[in-house]
Each structure stands twice: as C-alpha cells, then as structure tokens.
Amino acid sequence: MSENKYQSEVEAVDAFVERYKDLTNEIGKVIVGQDEVIKKVLISIFSRGHCLLVGVPGLAKTLLVSTISDSLGLDFNRIQFTPDLMPSDIIGSEILDESKNFKFVKGPLFANIILADEINRTPPKTQSALLEAMQERTVTAAGHQYKLDEPFFVLATQNPIEQEGTYPLPEAQLDRFMFNVWVDYPKYEEELSIVKNTTTDKKVNLNRIMNADEIIYFQQLIRKLPVADNVLEYAVKLASSTRPGNKLAPDVVNSYLSWGAGPRASQYLIIGAKCHAAINGKYSPDIEDVKAVAEPILRHRIVRNYKAEADGYSIEKIIDSLL
C-alpha cells in the first residue's frame, strides 16, 4: 500500500480505526471474550513489538495467535519449545546438497508471526537464539546474516504454574517483549458460549482484513503521531519512578523493589500510548493512553524484593500505586 492512498494522517487514522474494528469482529468469530488480551496483542503488533502471554493451559492462547495471523493474512509458524530444542532447530542449518555445496535451509523462525509455545521450557542457549531475531529482525547462521521478512512478531506463551523443569527467561530477553499479558479464565457466560461453539462440527471461515503492506503502513503511521511534551515527561517520570534510589521513586518503590524498568520501558510507553490513541480515533496520545498500556509494559521489567513477597505486595499493586 502506498502512502498516497490517504490524503492526510487524520484520514489514515480514521481508516485505521475502521480496520481495527473489522479485525476485532473477525477475531471475535473464533475467540469468545478475552477482549483486553486481543487488544494488547494487536497494539503490540501495530507498535512493532513482541508479546509474552502468561496463562494456565487450555485458555486458547495458541488459537488466539493463529486466528490473529489468519485475519492479518500473515505467515504463521508455531514452535513448541522443549528441553532438547537446539538453536539450529529454530534458526535453520546448513546442509550439503547434491552438488556438494553448502545450502542454508531456513528454520521455522522465517515467518511473519512466530508462536513460541512454552518458551520457558527450553534452555537459555535456544532462548538466546530468539534474541537477535526479536531485536535485529535478522538471524546469523554459519557466519552469514539472514534478514527476516517484515512484519515480524514473536508471541510467546508461558505457563505460570508448573515451574518444574523450566528455565526462567533472563531479564535481557524479558525486556525484548513489549507486553507481558496475563490471560485469565473466561467468565461463566463466555465459557458457556465457548463450550457451545466448540463441541459441534461447525467451522468458521475467517476473512482476511489486512495484508503485510497495510500492517507496515499503519506501523509507520502510528510512529508519526505527534506527542505533547507533558505526555512524554509523564511516561519518562513513570518509568524512572520504578527505580529504587531514584529521586522520583516513592517510598513503596524504595521499600519493595530491588530493580526498576529501563529506558526501553519509556520508549514502549510512548509507542504503546500512540497506538492506544489511534485505535480510539485520537490523533495524539494523552496521559490516559500511557496509563492504559503501563501495566503490561512494566509488569516484567520490575523485580520485587523479599520484603514485598513477605508482605504480599504484588507487582500489580505497586504499579497501581505509581499510576
């Protein structure tokens, strides 16, 4: 899609609002409820960010990701992370072809949307193979660098209960995820509807709402939205206030946190606020838009100390007090 399709940025934002509504309606044909989760995943996609979905098994996390990729008309690969998975299993490897030349065979990482299922089940060596792809959108194999297709997103899932035989994600990798989204149980009425729809042989045909070029266009549009100085200052102060010992840190942070959010949190607060404003038909974000995306951005970037755990002070409670 060329940028000339819309006469102005205002017109383009209005078009984006319509496309977003069509997209959520289409996803709603398959996924019942989970509106906030869908919204956060779509915000991360249009912000060029990655998303970590945390929830117990059976909450349709995999179905959600495949439904979104179908509606967006993107290539989708699911990688089941296991303790014996090697970096070459996801990146690809060089093989000797019939002409006795080395040929690179691309791994499942070469797609637009990657579902990294149970990412904490695999050793750090394989987890770190994702790091370059997530940050640089390239992979390196046998000394050669290969560019990944745009758009490119990693949507990872993690089971919060069963921690036996898992490898906690290192802070450096957690920081690469824009959002940490908690997927909760459905409400009673939603569960009734889920059971009703999934225990028959009825098939749902999804329409493609967008294509890769349109997604890239809207990603660029969101980055162009102007931000007022007071909103920028609020986002940076919010991220700074999570750092113990910082002059902006309140008592709750100094008492209960051992580590705060880095500058990447400030960047994501602004880009996330821009996207949140755009899906609501606003042409510039305000402080309310920053607040709307703050919890999933900060949740995995701040670390509680023993005192917080002993006093039963959750990360969510600390973030709420900062907001």
What is the predicted pLDDT for the residue at 1? 42
Please write the tens of the pLDDT for every residue from 57-88. Answer: 777 778 888 888 888 888 889 998 888 888 88
Kindly state whether residue 152 falls inside one of the protein's structural domains: yes
Query: Tokens for 201?
Result: 């042989």
pTM metric for this prediction: 0.87
> How many residues can be counted in the chain?
323
What is the per-residue burial (b if ≥16 Cβ within 10 Å, else e) of 35-51? eebbbbbbbbbbbbbbb
Pick from 194, 214, 234: which residue ends a domain?
Answer: 214
CA dihedral 287, 289, 295, 296 (to 10 degrees): -150
- What is the Cα–Cα distance from 274 to 266, expressed in whole angstroms? 13
Q: 17 and 141: one domain?
A: yes
Kindly state whether residue 60 falls inside one of the protein's structural domains: yes
Look at residue 293 and give its three-state secondary structure.
helix
Kindly state whether residue 104 falls inside one of the protein's structural domains: yes
Identify the CATH number of the domain in which residue 231 sits: 1.10.8.80
Q: Using 70 as the pLDDT threshold, list the residues of the chain that sit under it.
A: 1-4, 161-165
Q: 148 and 297: one domain?
A: no
- Secondary structure string (H, E, C) spanning 184-227: CCCCHHHHHHHHHHHCCCCCCCCCCCCCHHHHHHHHHHHHHCCC
What is the predicted pLDDT for the residue at 3? 47
What is the predicted pLDDT for the residue at 249? 80
**How many domains, the chain?**
2
Q: 48 and 137: one domain?
A: yes
Q: 241 and 174: one domain?
A: no
CB count in 10 Å sphere of residue 298: 24
Please write the tens of the pLDDT for every residue from 263-299. Answer: 899 999 999 999 999 998 888 898 999 999 999 999 8
Range(s) of the domain holding residue 126: 3-214
Q: 104 and 17: one domain?
A: yes
What is the predicted pLDDT for the residue at 2? 42
Identify the CATH number of the domain in which residue 78 sits: 3.40.50.300
